[in-house]
Structure 1
Amino acid sequence: MRRRLRQVFIIGLTLSLLGIGVPAWSEDDDRSCNDLMAADTPAYVVCTWLAKPDEAADIARFWLNDDGQNMIDAGPMNPITIDCQEPGAQCPTDGEGDGEMHDVGDPDVPGAEDGGTPECQNGEQCYVDPTGISAAEKSAAKATPAGQAAQAAVQTTMRVWIDTELADDYKAGKLAEAAKKIAALAVAQPGVVGVRFTSQLGYNQTFSTAEELDTFVSEAATTLRTLLPGKKLAAHTVVPLLGCGANDACKTAMTEKYPLLDPERIGAWLSKGYIDQLALDDGHLASQYAEWQIDANEAQRNQWIQVRARAWDAYAQIAAEDATLAGGQLKDEQIDQVISERVATPLQNDAAETVTLWTRWQDDKGQIKRAYGEQWADNATWERLKKLGSVKPRLATLYDPANPEVDQATDLKHLSEVFGQVYLHAA
């Protein structure tokens, strides 16, 4: 409903910008019900009675008078029947069933249980999982660290995603094998929302051409859609060009530096339905634009303006992603600033619908960075995050089940105090 109202607003705004007049509906129109709407309802939203209250009463009396005789007389139309014995009549012969009438509750086939699933006859396979994932593959998936974490995570209040990287498998010619392994994780545990199948898409050095990048996204999404009907697909990337705003020099430099990260290409992935959720990383905002005197706040503002202008949220959920709070010990005023700039601003700008915050990661020197204290000891950052209860459903984090802080159950319980969603990493 929220998206529908936004679309109505955009349509009205677009018409006004183009100079197309929206017809005015007279308050004297006896079919108008505008008086029933709130005072702040936009002028282009109107209310019209299909049947006014007095007319509705007359309609009801028409059908109910004389013990509903008019309703009886209007009974169902005579059914269209075909006599298959008539010359020239063509009747299908390959339909389901045995061609005989059966009473309600009768077995579907001889030997079937009443009201249940038909028993197998002659040892044939009665049911085939449409995903093609076997019970053994699901059982193996459950036994992995990610599978065990998924079982623990669904017991919390968090929505659960599986997070993996399929780009390397695609390059190695093993996409189908890797996708099936990840899909087994997603279907083995009821309650898993979907799969995030790639990160830093087009920003890292995995792909060298735009065509190769597009092919990966298309093939990975198609493969996972087949294996995971009804599950959502997510991806993470960075689009430095968006932070330039109207600075042409900046846009030229970013296009040359990141040729694969063309916003039009990314928008096409969304419009074609390859991705249901797109996460845009904020890590580059603080340093990439200094040459053009664009600070982090301005770059972020530019980014979200561009996202809104492209209407990406009409095709997919847009998320912001940031690791700043897990970058080390921050002072109180620094924590408040980061939360304001990297959490509140994207949500208030109505461009990102969720924010994914890194809470634990390891740098290239092997040092562990946390947003909470070691072994879950109290610290100022975590205490402030726990106070963001009003936006908890919009906050997400990532968790590596193979490298727990304490143990999976303890870690996930603590994470659920702050976050409404969690991405479980699976190798």
Structure 2
Amino acid sequence: MKPLLGSMTRRERRFAVAGVIITLTLLLPLVAAAEPGLIPGSGPTPGTASATEQPADVERGDSCHDTLPADTPSYVVCRWLNPPQDAAAAAQFWLAEDGANLERAQPLPPEFIRCNQKSDLAKTGTCKGGETLCQQQPTGWYRCTDQVTRKVTYEGYVNGAWVVRSTPPSTAPSPTAPSPTATSTAATPSTAPPRSPAQTIDATAVLPAPASLATSSAPASTPAGTEPSTTGQNEPPPDGNPATAAPTLTSTTAPPDTPTAEPPPTATPSSSKPAPAQDSTAAQAIAAAAASRLRLRIWVESDLADDYLAGDRPYTTALQDLVAAAQQPGVTGVKFADNLGYTGFTTAADVTRFLTRAGQDLRAALPGKHLAIGVVVPELGCGAAKTCIRAMRAKAPLATKEHITRYLTLRAVDRVEISTGLFGRTYAQYQVPDAKTGKPTAITPALAARAQWMSVRALEWDTLAQVRGREYGLAHAGGTSPWDNKQATAQIDARIGTALALGVPTITLWGHKAVDGTQTYRLLDAGLAPNALWTTLTSQRLRGRLAVIVDPASTERSITADLTELAKAVSEVFILL
């Protein structure tokens, strides 16, 4: 590179740099327009429902400083240094005054020529006033010779100021960049190359406010996420629609945390779970999922925590059933705990002992199989709302981010699925400042998801286990989804798009005919009828990023028919035992 640059004239170097900058200025916006987001075809449209709920757009330069708690490490950067919309301004800065700012920028080459009169190149393209040749010395200073008068000076930066000396210095100059207010001790405008510090752009002043922080709410017909009644009874939905009421939760299925549900405050016995040895339904589901034409990765799932708390005998029985299912051909791994620490346990030490024992038992019985757990960390969705954080820590004292970090540090599992799409009613009671106006705005589902996944990145859990998401906010109660295409797209953007944009590799969807008491939750409509949500998911080529939870005891038509339809949108399945 040095020989190439050295062989070029000063004017040629300027034209080359200008060409690169102009090319980047034209191409970056085109690239951004060609690939607007991580969900093809689902970009937000002004005036539609998706404009109020959209994923964090790194190409737009979204900032996240207003959604992260105060204890987030300072090295977490969540906006582009120079997003595409600022590329034109950056190019204009470097090209101004015939590239004067390029000439002033650090670092200097080992040898350079400058015009004795700054305006020469800008007006005529030649140095009519003569040239000065500067060559870098071993000390770091430049020996500059005026080619007209043959006067020799020694020049370099000292504490940010360009210094000109008439005698050779004995020490190297300061390597610091020039200061805007620094003055030269001996330089004159005609001899010292005028340098300016590197351009600093205040992104908060030029970047658009993230749409997820806009002061608005989800569509009126869109369930916003609620929390369970502490009495175990159904809680009325925020819109008063009985069809979206929160369910009474049991452990016969995965916790039905939908747009209107949250993890249960109390755990129920798991004796109602069918054991594979007694019921071949799970075995049939695993065999059906293993069909090569479906191209599905298979996990088996059972929550051993309840059985562990019930005693050694129930735990041993449940463990044997889980091992037997996982030993079937095609099974990738087992998920043996869900929302760990949220209920049931009384101390963090109890959680640690369970996790250690279960992990050791499963690794011994299933060598080579992947192990996973699920966690829910309510405080992560609060962002910077301190009152919300305190309330969520009180709600789940054993599922705080500090405790989850300790659990993962045990290295008992290979994968952790972090639940999201929960606690909508609670989050909506708290506010964070709007990124653009600074006015308080309620925490929306998109903002909660965004805050959660940015916090997970800051916590570095991905260095302890493979981090995945488990979304409970897309299932609907009843036989028919209430969402139209715009609302479904908005929810996918907010819940799935946000997580994928922030680096979550895969998202597991809950709610394929998940029965709880008298209520049934679905992703498709009854009888596997497609709806706006499912049509959008299958059309957006996200199959490799999505998984789904299936209870083989609760199907729409048959386990084979259900898996065939689900495989159109997902590449991984968790089969409940």
Select between 252-261 and 285-294 the one with higher mean Cα deviation: 285-294
Q: Indicate the residue corresponding to 1:151 in structure 2.
A: 287
Residue from 330, 340, 346 that aligns with 1:201: 340
Q: Is the 8 A contact 1:280 1:318 kept in 2?
A: yes
Alpha-carbon offset, residue 410 of structure 1: 1.0
Match of 2:507 among 355, 360, 370: 355
Counterpart code for 1:262:
T
1:424 maps to 575
Equivalent residue for 1:46? none
Runs (5+) with no aligned partner, structure 2: 1-74, 77-106, 111-275, 432-442
Deviations 1:295-325 (A, max 9, x none): 3222222211110011111222212222332
User: Which residue of 1 is the match for residue 396 of structure 2?
Assistant: 258
1:309 counterpart residue number? 458
**Partner SS for 1:406:** coil
1:196 deviates by 0.8
Secondary structure of 2:426 counterpart: coil
C-alpha contact (below 8 Å) 1:176/1:223 kept by paired residues: no
2: distance between equivalents of 1:373 and 1:249?
38
| Alpha-carbon separation, structure 1, partners of 2:562 and 2:499 | 27
Q: Is the 8 A contact 2:299 2:574 kept in 1?
A: yes
Structure 1: runs of 5 or more not aligned:
1-12, 15-23, 28-139
Q: How many residues align?
A: 289
Higher relative contact order (CA 8 A, sep 6+): 2
> Residue 150 of structure 1: SS of its match in structure 2?
helix
Q: Structure 1 residue 363: deviation in Å?
A: 5.6
Q: 1:168 aligns with which of 295, 306, 329?
A: 306
Residue 485 of structure 2, aligned match among 329, 332, 339: 332
**Counterpart contact for 1:160–1:423, Cα < 8 Å:** yes
Structure 1 runs (4+) deviating above 3 angstroms are: 140-143, 361-365
Q: Which moved more, 1:254-263 or 1:280-289?
A: 280-289
Question: Would you say the 8 A contact 2:514–2:554 is kept in 1?
Answer: no
Larger radius of gyration: 2
Say whether 1:414 aligns with 2:565: yes
Counterpart Cα distance in 2 of 1:307 and 1:299: 12
Answer whether contact 1:164 1:197 (CA < 8 A) is retained. Answer: yes
Deviation readout 1:377-425 (Å, 9 max, x if unpaired): 2322221121132x21110000111122111111111111110100001
C-alpha distance in 2, partners of 1:237/1:304? 13
- Taking the aligned partners of 1:203 and 1:185, their CA distance within structure 2 comes to 26
Tell me the SS of whatever aligns to 2:429. helix
Equivalent position of 1:246 in the other structure: 384
Write the distance in 1 (CA, Å) between the matches of 2:534 and 2:554.
20
1:113-171 deviations in Å (ceiling 9; x for gaps): xxxxxxxxxxxxxxxxxxxxxxxxxxx75962111111110112110000111112101
Please tell me whether the aligned partners of residues 513 and 556 of structure 2 are also in contact (alpha carbons under 8 angstroms).
Answer: no
Q: Percent identity, aligned pairs only?
A: 36
Distance in 1 of aligned mates of 2:427 and 2:467: 23
Q: 1:425 to 1:365 in 2, by over 3 A?
A: closer
Alignment deviations for residues 233-267 of structure 1 (CA, whole Å, 9 cap, x no partner) = 11112101112223332222222221111212212
Deviates more, 1:230-239 or 1:318-327: 318-327
Separation in 1, partners of 2:400, 2:475: 29
Separation in 1 of the partners of 2:514 and 2:289? 22
Q: Which residue of 1 aligns with 2:364?
A: 226
Q: Higher mean Cα deviation, 178-187 or 370-379? A: 370-379
Structure 2 match to 1:386: 538
Secondary structure of 2:424's aligned partner: coil
Contact kept in structure 2, 1:319 and 1:355, CA below 8 Å:
yes
RMSD: 2.4
Counterpart of 1:298 in structure 2 is: 447
Pick one of 304, 315, 318 that aligns with 1:178: 318
Cα displacement (A) at 1:208: 2.0
CA contact (8 A) 2:510 2:548 kept: yes
Q: Do the aligned partners of 2:513 and 2:555 also contact (CA within 8 Å) in 1?
A: no
Query: 1:36-55: per-residue Cα shift (whole Å, max 9, x none)?
Result: xxxxxxxxxxxxxxxxxxxx
Confirm whether residue 286 of structure 1 aligns to residue 437 of structure 2: no
- Aligned equivalents of 2:334 and 2:485: distance in 1? 35
Which residue does 1:47 correspond to in 2? none
Distance 2:305 2:553 in 1: 21
- The within-5 A match list for 1:73-112 is none
In 1, the alpha carbon distance for the partners of 2:428 and 2:565 equals 38
- 2 CA distance for matches of 1:172 and 1:380? 43
Q: Is the 8 A contact 2:379 2:392 kept in 1?
A: yes
Letter of the aligned partner of 1:347 in structure 2? L
CA, structure 1 residues 158+262, in 2 after alignment: closer, same or farther (shift >3 Å)?
A: same
TM-score, length-scaled by structure 2:
0.47
